[in-house]
Amino acid sequence: MGQFKDLTEIARYEQIAVDLASKIAHNEYKVGTKLYGRSTLAGQYNVSPETIRRAVAVLQSMNIVQVVAGRGIIVIDQDAAKQYLENFNQRKGLAQAQQEFAELLDKRRELDLAIENQIKKIMAFSSRLINILPKVEEVEIKKGSPLIEKSLKEVNFRAHTDATVLAVERSGEEYLSPDSEMIIHEGDILVYIGPEGSKEKVDNFVK
């Protein structure tokens, strides 16, 4: 997940260095005190002497302790221990913020993908509905049409075209839901609704 290191991956030697620095900062190990030897510390923390050596090297590099030949590991600066802990906590906080940011990015990518998929579904359904839903069309009854002077019932408009006449426009007047006995005249405009393909049938029927 993401590119940032998990906080649980903090090296064991650094965890020990932080623990020792914390004890020094809280005056459990006073300045001038000699810490236990590496072997004893290794037993206390249940790690190898090499791990303790690396932990002590960290503290020594921060001037918290000093390794003196013949004397061992000596605490030399409590304030340096406090500063090390503050820096460590800030670094830990930054790492945690980076990790949380990476997780949020992953969640946003998942959300963006889910939104994209939903948009595709909506577009697919919309496309299908456009083709399925009936459309309102109109056709003019021109001279020579076989429908002239016949009633809507007589021509059986719906049976031949799969469409339903909604209105008849005649001389500027609009007759909504015309009666089946209404006679069709030349120049009438039939407003109808029908499924995909009905327009071609209507155009051929009224010629």
The CATH number covering residue 140 comes to: 3.30.70.1450
Would residue 119 count as lying in a domain?
no
Cα–Cα distance, 185 to 105 (Å, whole number): 68
List C-alpha distances in Å: 44 to 20, 29, 65, 126: 12, 15, 19, 69
Percent of the chain with pLDDT over 70: 92
Confidence band for 145, pLDDT divided at 50, 70 and 90: very high
Q: What is the mean pLDDT of residues 183-187?
A: 96
Which of 75, 101, 127 is the C-terminal boundary of a domain? 101
The yes-or-no verdict on residue 8 having pLDDT over 60 is: no
The CATH number covering residue 87 comes to: 1.10.10.10
Confidence band for 191, pLDDT divided at 50, 70 and 90: very high
Q: What is the mean pLDDT of residues 66-82?
A: 91
149 lies in the same domain as 97: no
Q: What is the pLDDT of residue 127?
A: 64
Number of alpha carbons in the 13 Å side-chain half-sphere of residue 18? 14
Would residue 184 count as lying in a domain?
yes
The reported pTM is 0.47
Cα–Cα distance, 175 to 168 (Å, whole number): 5
97 lies in the same domain as 12: yes
Q: Name the residue range of residue 195's domain.
A: 135-206
Q: What is the pLDDT of residue 95?
A: 81
